[in-house]
Amino acid sequence: AVGWVEVVKIGRTHLQDATPLTVGQEWSGWATQLRDARHRLETALNAVHSLAAGGTAVGTGLNAPTGFGEEIAAKLTELTGLPLRTAPNKFAAQGSLDGMVVVSAGLRGVAVALMKIANDMRWLASGPRAGLHELKLPANEPGSSIMPGKVNPTQQEAMVMVCLQVIGEDSIVASAGAQGNFELNAMRPIIINNVLHSARILGDACDKLREFSVAGTELDQQKVNEYVGRSLMLVTALSPHIGYDKASAIAHKADNEGTTLREAALALGVSADEFDRIIDPRKMVGDPRRDLGLVTTGNGGALPGGGG
């Protein structure tokens, strides 16, 4: 994202052309989405730091020595380095597994973010001649046994499948979490199995996506520039100056007649000087360096930004 911070591209909403942004801004959105999902997962882990040990049969602590729960938590904290503590209410800790449900939901949140990013990448890499092809993904293996030269987004497809698996396992965890009867939830094995499996395959998929795809992904600058030059949505910058209706008429005229946006604007009364002054894609993307936290102060220090 940093290398492409000022490369202007066309944005897309509803799968249709939209106003421009930079490639760096788009990737910063992905990075921030992942960072936030990770933060939510880390916060969710606090929910499993409370231990039910010491509650014995139904949470009353019958037959357990005084302070047993506290001693167990202290010893496990010493062994693991985790901030473990005895649950203040053993009845809730034994009758439910809500903490694991929360952690599973955090993993699902990571999967949702990763699926969006993986799908964006494979759509942007579609082609090479009849798709978007803004991104060029590394060819890790032959894409087809019948079509020579084909490059498939296999790492992104693998990530999507992993994310679907995690979302499915979270559904199991949620259902099992609701199966606590009276003073015990006996569904702990299936909950633990699914949470640990989800965490493992998500981590593995992230490693593989980074190593075999993201690290070798290239930008097709020619395609990116071509889409910016052909976009009708640049007319959005004219709206404050000539009104929405006239700007819309210009876009429709260019589309219907197969002309450039500039030709249509001039035909409908916009001067060449006004068009060239206003329709500058680089002026429509805000401050991409600030968005990625790359703006520096006078003494060379970086100012904090909103991107990853």
Which listed residue (49, 104, 126, 144) is catalytic?
Answer: 144
> Which of 112, 102, 113 lies closest to 35 in space, CA to CA?
113
CA angle 155–157–159, rounded 5-degree value: 70
Across the strands, what pairs with 12? 17
239 catalytic per annotation: no
Residues 233 and 247: their CA atoms lie apart, in Å, by 10
Could you tell me whether strands 135-136 and 85-86 are parallel, antiparallel, or unpaired per DSSP bridges? unpaired
DSSP assignment letter at 135 = E
CA distance 116 to 227: 22
Dist. CA 243–CA 170, nearest whole Å: 49
**What is the length of the chain?**
308
Say if residue 47 is exposed, middle or buried (CB neighbours under 10 Å; 0-12, 13-18, 19+).
middle
72: alpha, beta or left? (left if phi > 0; alpha if psi -120 to 50): alpha
| Active site annotation includes 126 | no
Crossing angle of helices 98-124/154-177, nearest 10°? 160
Catalytic residues: 14, 144
